[in-house]
Amino acid sequence: MSRLAVPKTYKLYIGGKFPRSESGRTYEVTTRSGEFLANAAKASRKDARDAVVAARSAVSGWSGATPYNRGQVLYRIAELLEGRRVQFISEIEQSEGISIEAATAQVDEAIDRWVWYAGWADKYVQVAGNANPVSGPYFNLSVPEPTGVVAIVAPQKSSLLGLVSVVAPALVAGNTVVVIASEALPLSAISLSEVLATSDVPGGVVNILTGSPAEITPWLASHADVNALDLTGAGDLDWIDLEIAAAETLKRVLRPGGGADLAAPSLDRITALTETKTVWHTKSLI
């Protein structure tokens, strides 16, 4: 007896939950040759605002966790991705129209990248911070701290590896993120949100929106409760205007970098989303 397959409903990921877009809109996701794959939710500016609220509420808990604990959580994501490796390979092979060997290499690199960044969680402060020489009976210490809520435009030509490459380094330092996934290749991003929801990542730390970056990004760039803007995947947008909008609320901005989705992981991507706090303290004269 034949049976009907159960089609997957692809939703947004906001505050640890899977809502449909408040607008009720969807758009078709197709293969490179134009064959239908799925309907994805098309996020609205209201969804973006909800995601920022969720990210802000999670900042204190995530940034307040010990670096060692954050590293454990990021490593747990890699563990779960390894367990669902076959699913991600299949999704990437279909949506990107690449060979199974290339899809496998992308998934393996994405898993390894989570592990690489997890290892830096309790080490980057020692490398990026320092004791400053001063003339006088004082200690002068500079320490990197998370900048807060980071809005990210993921690379548009890479479904999984590009997303991991921009989200993982932001999380290492204790930031929370609102990320706009690749518009044409969103399926792996939605599947990754399921991994996040079943791992140890607290709700609101990562919020994933699908839809049009051209529609959503301007609202995030001008949002007063967003502290940094990563435009890695915004090269096809008018990103100069986005940078100007971000400047009105003094956001830190990472400009489009071209190929960042495939570049090697970097400590610079962690420190780019931190602020340096310098502390003076008197030395004991006894």
Give how far Cα 179 sits from Cα of 7, 37, 50, 141, 144, Å. Answer: 25, 22, 13, 33, 23
User: Is residue 250 a part of any domain in this protein?
Assistant: yes
pLDDT at 261: 54
Better-predicted residue by pLDDT, 277 or 244: 244
Model pTM score:
0.93
- Domain hosting 228: range is 38-282
Number of domains in the chain: 1
Mean pLDDT of the chain: 92
User: Is residue 227 a part of any domain in this protein?
Assistant: yes
Condensed to tens digits (0 to 9), the pLDDT of residues 56-74 reads 999 999 999 999 999 999 9
CA 61 to chain centre: 17
Task: Tell me the one-letter amino acid at 15.
Answer: G
Find the CATH number of the domain harbouring 91: 3.40.605.10
pLDDT at 262: 63
Phi, psi torsion values for 31, nearest 5 degrees: -75, 175
pLDDT at 7: 79
In whole angstroms, what is the distance from residue 10 CA to residue 41 CA?
Answer: 7
Condensed to tens digits (0 to 9), the pLDDT of residues 129-177 reads 887 788 777 787 888 999 999 999 999 988 899 999 999 999 999 999 9
User: Is residue 65 a part of any domain in this protein?
Assistant: yes
Is residue 218 within 8 Å of 29, Cβ to Cβ? no
Better-predicted residue by pLDDT, 131 or 271: 271
User: Is residue 32 a part of any domain in this protein?
Assistant: no
pLDDT at 286: 57
Condensed to tens digits (0 to 9), the pLDDT of residues 102-114 reads 999 999 999 999 9
Q: Does residue 233 register a pLDDT over 80?
A: yes
For 25-29, 56-60, 115-119, 139-143, which range has the lowest pLDDT when averaged over its residues? 139-143
Q: How many helices (H) and strands (E) does the chain have?
A: 10, 10
User: Is residue 93 a part of any domain in this protein?
Assistant: yes
Q: What is the DSSP letter of 248?
A: T
User: Is residue 278 a part of any domain in this protein?
Assistant: yes
pLDDT at 131: 78
Sheet containing 228-230, strands listed edge to edge, beginning at the edge strand earlier in sequence? 206-209, 176-180, 149-153, 228-230, 252-254
User: Is residue 20 a part of any domain in this protein?
Assistant: no
Condensed to tens digits (0 to 9), the pLDDT of residues 167-214 reads 999 999 999 999 999 999 999 999 999 999 999 999 999 999 999 999
Q: Does residue 92 register a pLDDT over 80?
A: yes
Which among 278, 208, 218 is positioned nearest to 251, based on CA atoms?
A: 218
User: Is residue 82 a part of any domain in this protein?
Assistant: yes
